[in-house]
Amino acid sequence: MKCDHVVLGVDEAGRGPVIGPMVVAGVAVCKDDVYRLEVIGVDDSKVLSPVQRRRLLSAIEAVALQIVRVYVEPRLIDCENLNIIERNTVAFIVGRVLDVFGGRLREVYVDAVGDPGRLSSIVRGVGFRGRLVVEPKADARYPVVSAASIVAKVYRDEAIEELRRRYGVRGSGYPTDPETIEWIREAYARMREPPWFVRRSWGTLRRIAPGWYKAKRVRGGRGGQRSLLDYL
């Protein structure tokens, strides 16, 4: 379908967990189809059940022109500022959509964490010149961001389910989840080094698995470290 006015929403799932990746997703739809997202009932993924999110994912895929998702693994999270990672990942997603649609990408909406101005500047740096809205809680205000939040959450949940199947992880991966905390304690008692999917720089480990904990040493900005923006 030819579309001359593309709208992109971007959101993430999994900033706070001690286990597993952060997933950042972008959903691009034709401006004329944004109403279809409202009709199917997209909303902030946090207020939806897993069954609702899975059902809506299929409907979102039917409406979307393009869906981009990026997995940010614990190893990167442990050696870089999370806000910098997220800003660069959002800009990477915008750049990928620009590669496909060029000037037809007219609007971008992003659920902001951290400084909206800095995120806006990085997104502009990949060449986007249309309307850019970077706001906290955008996932509750703009259907296209709600759609991105659902995509990110479904695939984050799938990643955790795979860790359950392969490694016996329990719980959601969040430090507020008693099952997750108990699994970490048990794993710490039998393993000298943490599995690759555990975020070693989280304060949770310093408290309950101190031998696994490693303080994050951020080198300031990109500091020579390659990021997704190097691949645009």
Instruction: Report the percentage of the chain scoring pLDDT > 90.
Output: 85
β-strands 105-111, 6-13 pairing: parallel
Specify the amino acid at residue 99: D
In this predicted structure, the answer to whether residue 223 has a pLDDT above a threshold of 50 is no
**Region 47-61: what's the mean pLDDT?**
92
Q: What is the pLDDT of residues 91-143, one digit of tens each?
A: 999 999 999 999 999 999 999 878 889 999 999 999 999 999 999 999 999 99
In this predicted structure, the answer to whether residue 220 has a pLDDT above a threshold of 80 is no
Q: Is 50 in a helix, a strand, or coil?
A: helix
CA distances from 30 to 60, 83, 101, 106, 125 (A): 12, 29, 11, 10, 23
Q: Which residues contact 191 (CB under 8 A, 6 or more apart)?
A: none
27-49 in b/e form (b: 16+ CB < 10 A) is: bbbbeebbebbeeeebbbbeebe
The domains located in the chain, with CATH, are 6-161 (3.30.420.10), 167-208 (no CATH)
The answer to whether 92 touches 70, Cβ cutoff 8 Å, is: yes
